Amino acid sequence: MNHDQSFTNQEFKIVGTRPPRPDGVDKVTGRARYGADAFAPGQLVGLILRSPHAHAKIKKIDISKAEKLPGVKAVITSADLPDLTKGDRGQLDILENCMARGRALYDGHAVAAVAAVDAETARKALQLIKVDYQVLPHVTDVDEAMKDNAPIVQPHIRTVGVNPAPTKASNVSQRTEFGHGDVEAGFKRADVIVERSYKTEQTHQGYIEPHACLASVGPDGQGELWVTTQGHFTFRNQCASLLGMDVAKLKVTSSEIGGGFGGKTHVWMEPVALALSRKANRPVKVVMTRDEVFRATGPTCSTSIDVKIGATKDGRITAALATLRYQDGAFPSIWGMLGGMTSFACYDLENVKAIAYDVLVNRPKVAAYRAPSAPMAAFAVESTIDQVAAEIGWDPVDFRIKNAAKEGTRASYGPTYGPIGIGPTLLAAKNHPHMKAPLRKNQGRGMACGFWFNFGGQTCTDLNIGVDGTVSLTVGTVDVGGSRASLSLIAAEELGIPYEKVKCTVADTASLGHNDTTEGSRGTFSSGMATIYAARDAIRVLKERAAKTWEIDVADVTWRNGRAMALKAEHGNLNELTLEELAAASPRTGGPIAGHNEVVADGAGVSFATHICDIEVDPETGHTKVIRYTVIQDAGKAIHPDYVEGQFQGAAAQGIGWALNEEYIYGKDGRLQNPGFLDYRIPVCSDLPFIDTQILEIPNPGHPYGVRGVGETSIVPPLAAIANAVSNAAGVRLTHIPMSPPRILKAIKNGNGKSHAGR
Amino acid sequence: MAQGIHVATTINGDAVEYVCQPRETLLEVLRNRLGLTGAKEGCGTGDCGACSVTLDGRLVCSCLVLGAEAEGRSVTTVEGLSTNGNLHPLQKKFIEHAALQCGICTPGFLVSAKALLDRNPDPTEEEIRYALAGNLCRCTGYDKIVRAVDAAAKELRSKA
């Protein structure tokens, strides 16, 4: 059934309130079951052997001794994961990342795996596997990797997007370009031009729950996988495809997820766990250590970016140009392209160009990390915007307001915007008391804007009404931050019943149609849309049942406040029928009452945020302290404001860690030197102030309630907002993220230009 | 495999016996032998606090304590926070204040926060922040956690 997707500006009774989340009690009592919290009869412990080299040819793997160790039930290498990808190089890349095939491409790359009766036996077995490596030259820096003489990470790669098509292998997997107008002509018209280069280091999503799964495959080709994932349907499809299983015969259940932020959108060791189970014919549980999480999963890109922006003295940007180099780890991807697309998305520009390079290095395969690629581009662009504003003597907020994109603006990446929130967030920032608060010595204030696309995608939802009139809402989008509460609110709103009457469950892959992964801030947006339609579908059935009970035409029945009512005066003698009454009578009026919806949730609304922060810099040590932080973001419509605020605050905190401290440090040997939370330090409670939030609601015309995704956008501004604040506090321009104390001290010592001018 | 060690201890008020390997951590014993999976392993190196429990009332990372060390002592885990079916005020306030998102760090925060309030019933914001600095949360930015702990402290004081 086709549903009208457009925003209707209805009045809400329940949406927008803040009831307790349905999974709250389980999570405060320790009852909630995460990836590592499942156990199966006869389960084995699976462990993975990883390459200690950044780049090496695997000449031989001898597993014979490990196989003979008592208690070892299976040992596998890439030979146990044959290539079934039929020439699909993207799929083969995923398989090769799960288990090296002839070459180890980064420190931490899996080369073999064992399943044994207990952890101690499995650890001993790993030590008995003999791998004969021939170490090859490696490269881990994005700029080094682009040089002509750099070691080649993937010999089959030829740069896509250049003319003529190259014949020689390169670490540049693709070049993309976005924009419009004539930037050279625009720069000629500028009174002021600022051109600057920036670097950002690699960070990890840092979810507190390591990857974990429990895999079980029988000789009949049927299997089950319990796993912490953002997308169990995607995991099912990928694992089935890589292992040659039927999709319908692999049931994947998503556990409670202990954080993902994009890092749990990709399969890592799950196909390996299934292959171990298949070989051992017993359930196998694989739980990564923190060291493995850092070395072999998910980090975001490190980058190197040049930005050039010109403006006239009356505050108008005449041209903007960015060249962005993003490293994707050892496998090609689109992260540089996304950086190019997002870089100037906040502004209404006549002449704009972004050239992006995706680059391979000997580091782990890069995964999505919350608004992937946008924070680094925003850091470079928003830092430059501040410098341009200073050069022409404009207030940074006013300068951004003057140039902000608006409805009808052609975005630098192509589309023309509908109603958007960049202008309103800037205006809210301008009027925010934070902007006027006094600053003390060594303190600086910075602000910056951020953009994210948001995504909709395939969604399938069931809504079943129990005989007592309570409602089971069954969704297939993994709940990463409270979406079960939001979706229950939406079902209650549509049906006109109390929130407490709805219970939302995330179903396994055998219980519901395909749902795309919870990514692109799509959870509440798309499952919310499917929930609205499923509820309306159920209301259609409820009205039919009432009509049947009353023996009147269904067109004469309406649904209001959780009950069926007969319209028209001639039905005046008919009492209303409540949901409970209709549910109780359902066995006699046609059977179970349910609503369903399958939808490709198009119409995700773009999202913008503006952040303000105050930073104190100790000029003696380079130490920084976040004094005050304010997030202003457009949510479209906040379904459950607590969890919208939570997304804003969490994203800001991740951005703060990225800006000031977090960093992958590689040695000259290409090995990661800080794969643990002691040396890769994420913000702790005492590092941060309260993070103030302001939710703006500029309705998304492509959603019945006006919802926009809210999860990602607020990780985009912090790098730049903090860089602008630190630069203002220290009196020098910081161009390298993270702004760790040594980098700040070095910048102060070198006197990186005056804070604003800094050319 | 080494010979197992017999341990008699008290967990959440109940007498418990188990046999563990010499190198097995208390966290592994709780999770894999006793089915108490409320304590989580986020790092295994004492940096994240997700495995926080109290040992004779003292806050510890159970990944840094050997299972054998629990002999004759008293362990409290998140599963022991609610009494007679009633949630502890900290547990209630965490739900009310939306102080959890993914919830993986929540058991550790609750155990740490209880240890704080047991010794300091009226902590300042700064005292709360420093007491919880050994617990990593990647979802919330700590804002709502600090507010929930403060609210629970107020409620506990009003009852005292």
Average pLDDT over residues B120-125: 98
Q: Which residues contact A492 (CB under 8 A, 6 or more apart)?
A: A14, A471, A498, A499, A501, A502
| Gap between the Cα atoms of A601 and A477, Å rounded | 13
Mean pLDDT on A91-108? 98
Q: CATH for B5-80? A: 3.10.20.30
| Rounded alpha-carbon distances, angstroms, from residue B65 to A231, A543, A652, B2 | 35, 61, 34, 18
Name the CA dihedral angle for A78, A79, A84, A85, rounded to a multiple of 10 degrees.
Answer: 30
Output the average pLDDT for chain A: 96
- Rounded Cα distance between A175 and A190, Å, is 28
| Span(s) in chain B for CATH 3.10.20.30 | 5-80
pLDDT for position A748:
94
Question: At which residue do the structure tokens 């309130």 appear?
Answer: A17
pLDDT digits (tens, 9 = 90+) for A528-577: 999 999 999 999 999 999 999 999 999 999 999 999 999 998 988 899 99
Is B47 within 8 Å of A678 when comparing Cβ atoms?
A: yes
The answer to whether the peptide bond before residue A738 is cis (omega within 30 degrees of 0) is yes
Place of tokens 């419009």: A180
Helix (H) or strand (E) holding A199: strand A192-200
Taking an 8 Å cut-off on Cβ atoms, the answer to whether A677 and B104 are in contact is no
Q: What residues contact residue B53 under an 8 Å CB cut-off, 6+ apart?
A: B26, B30, B39, B59, B60, B62, B75, B76, B77, B78, B111
Among the four given CATH numbers 1.10.540.10, 3.90.1170.50, 3.30.420.40, 3.30.565.10, the one describing domain A35-136+210-257+264-296: 3.90.1170.50
Give the end-to-end CA distance of chain B in Å, rounded to a whole number.
51
What's the confidence (pLDDT) of residue A572?
A: 85
pLDDT over 70 at A752, yes or no: no
CA distance A730 to A713: 27
Which of 581-640 (A) contact B at CB < 8 A?
Answer: none
With a cut of 60, say whether residue A753 has pLDDT above it. Answer: no
pLDDT above 70 (res A454): yes
Q: A99 and A111 in contact (C-beta within 8 Å)?
A: yes
Residue A19 touches chain B, beta carbons under 8 Å? no
DSSP B9-25: EEETTEEEEEEE-TT-B
pLDDT at A757 over 80: no
* Residue entry with tokens 């997308």: A231
Cβ-in-10-Å burial (0-12, 13-18, 19+) of A557 comes to buried
Determine how many CB atoms are found less than 10 A away from the CB of residue A352.
26
With a cut of 50, say whether residue A756 has pLDDT above it.
no
Residue type, position A682, single letter: I
- The answer to whether the beta carbons of residues A324 and A378 sit under 8 Å apart is no
**Region A303-454+605-750: CATH code:** 3.30.365.10
pLDDT for A657: 98
Chain B residues close to A652, C-beta within 8 Å: 141
Q: For residue A2, is pLDDT > 90?
A: no
pLDDT in tens, A430-452: 999 999 999 999 999 999 999 99
How much is the CA Rg of chain B, to the nearest whole Å?
A: 16
Q: What pLDDT, in 10s, does the model give residues A51-75?
A: 999 999 999 999 999 999 999 999 9
Q: Please, where in chain A does CATH 3.30.365.10 lie?
A: 24-32+456-601, 303-454+605-750
Q: Is ipTM > 0.90 here?
A: yes
Mutation target for A interface from B77, B101, B125: give the one with most A CBs within 10 A: B101
3-state secondary structure of A642: helix
Question: pLDDT value at position A550?
Answer: 96
Q: What tokens does A402 get?
A: 């003057």
Q: A589 falls in which pLDDT band (50, 70, 90)?
A: very high
Specify the pLDDT at position A245: 97
Residues forming CATH 3.90.1170.50 domain(s) in chain A = 35-136+210-257+264-296
**Cβ separation of A120 and B1 shorter than 8 Å?**
yes
Note the pTM of the prediction, 2 decimals.
Answer: 0.97
d(CA A650, CA A646): 6
Question: Contact, A639 vs A489, CB < 8 A?
Answer: yes
Question: Does the structure show a pLDDT above 70 at B89?
Answer: yes
Q: Which residue of B has its CA nearest to A207?
A: B138
pLDDT at position A754 is 52
Token reading at A265: 């959108």
Q: CB within 8 A of A308, min separation 6: which ones?
A: A187, A193, A194, A195, A196, A319, A320, A321, A322, A384
Domain with CATH 1.10.150.120 in chain B: 89-159
**Residue B160: its pLDDT value, please?**
78
**CATH, range A24-32+456-601:** 3.30.365.10
Q: Which residue has the higher pLDDT, A759 or A483?
A: A483
Q: pLDDT, tens digit, for every residue of A275-332?
A: 999 999 999 999 999 999 999 998 999 999 999 999 999 999 999 999 999 999 999 9
Average pLDDT estimate for A260-281 = 97
Torsion of CA B27, B32, B34, B36, to 10 degrees: 60
- A38: tokens are 């499942």
Contacts of A613 in chain B (CB under 8 A): none
Q: Is the pLDDT of residue A705 over 80?
A: yes
Alpha helices (H) along A475-527? 483-495
Quote the CA–CA distance of B31 and A758 in Å, as a whole number. Answer: 55
Would you state the CATH architecture of domain B89-159? Orthogonal Bundle (1.10)
CA distances from A334 to A145, A176, A563 (A): 17, 9, 50
Report the gap between the CA of A535 and the closest CA in chain B (Å). Answer: 26
| Angstrom distance (rounded) from CA B20 to CA B22 | 6
Note whether A523 contacts B: Cβ–Cβ < 8 A. Answer: no
**Residue A689: count of CB within 10 angstroms of its CB:** 19
Each residue of A119-169: pLDDT tens digit?
999 999 999 999 999 999 999 999 999 999 999 999 999 999 999 999 999
Residue B31 touches partner A, C-beta closer than 8 Å: yes
* The predicted structure's pLDDT at residue A207: 98
The answer to whether the Cβ–Cβ distance between B102 and A256 falls below 8 Å is yes
Test A287 with B41 for CB contact under 8 angstroms.
Answer: yes
| DSSP output for A233-262 | HHHHHHHHHHHT--GGGEEEEE-B-S--TT
Pairing state between β A317-327 and A352-359: parallel
Is the pLDDT at A376 greater than 90, yes or no?
Answer: yes
Q: What CA–CA distance (Å, rounded) separates A515 from A475?
A: 8
Beta strands in chain B (DSSP E): 5-11, 14-20, 52-55, 58-61, 74-76
Q: Is the minimum CB–CB distance between A208 and chain B shorter than 8 Å? A: yes
CB B113 within 8 A of CB B132: yes
A207-236 pLDDT, tens digit each:
999 999 999 999 999 999 999 999 999 999
Comparing A542 with A753, which gets the higher pLDDT?
Answer: A542
- Gap between the Cα atoms of A97 and A358, Å rounded: 18
Stretch 143-172 of chain A: residues touching chain B, C-beta under 8 Å = none
Q: Is A346 helix (H, G, I), strand (E, B) or coil?
A: coil
Q: How far is CA A268 from the centre of its chain?
A: 16
pLDDT tens digits, A640-673: 999 999 999 999 999 999 999 999 999 999 999 9
Share of chain A above pLDDT 90, in %: 96
What mean pLDDT do residues B75-82 have?
97
Residues 6+ apart with CB under 8 A from B32: none
Q: Which residues of A touch B40 (CB under 8 A)?
A: 34, 36, 208-209, 258
